[in-house]
Amino acid sequence: MYRIGKPCATSKSYFITPEEEIEVDLEELAKELESMGWNPKKVTKVISVFEKNGLRISAFPTGKLIVREVDEEVVRRIAEEVWKAVEKVARRKRSRLPCPSRSSLFAP
């Protein structure tokens, strides 16, 4: 799932962030969103921008999405639609546990 927030109270932008750490291949996301009618304007490994019906979203490999110049009702509809594509291509980030030292592997 995701959370919706604003960078500040007076902003007309919203962000949509995953509730857990994920990794998103933006090229895969572009294919999914394009099949849903979103037009990819820019697709790179670090940011992708999509448009549909005058709306614009920016997507990041962390799963974070930014929607500019919309009200809360519109961002909720966008989140509901777009998050399905994000979930389809997302991978959970693996936790980085410390490796045991060699000496502890062979300890009696």
pLDDT at 94 over 80: no
Judge whether 54 lies within some domain.
yes
Structural domain count of the chain: 1
pLDDT at 74 over 60: yes
φ, ψ dihedrals at 88, nearest 5°? -65, -35
pLDDT at 55 over 70: yes
Range of the domain at 33: 2-94
Q: Please provide the average confidence, as pLDDT, over all residues in the chain.
A: 89
The whole-angstrom separation of Cα 36 and Cα 26 is: 15
pLDDT, position 92 = 85
Mean pLDDT computed over 15-37: 97
Judge whether 108 lies within some domain.
no
Judge whether 77 lies within some domain.
yes
The whole-angstrom separation of Cα 39 and Cα 53 is: 9
79: domain CATH number is: 3.30.310.10
The whole-angstrom separation of Cα 50 and Cα 33 is: 8
Token digits of residue 102: 């060699």
Judge whether 99 lies within some domain.
no
Adjacent-strand bridge partners of 52: 55
Judge whether 104 lies within some domain.
no
In the chain, the N- to C-terminal Cα span, in Å, equals 45
Judge whether 45 lies within some domain.
yes
Judge whether 103 lies within some domain.
no
pLDDT at 73 over 70: yes
Judge whether 90 lies within some domain.
yes
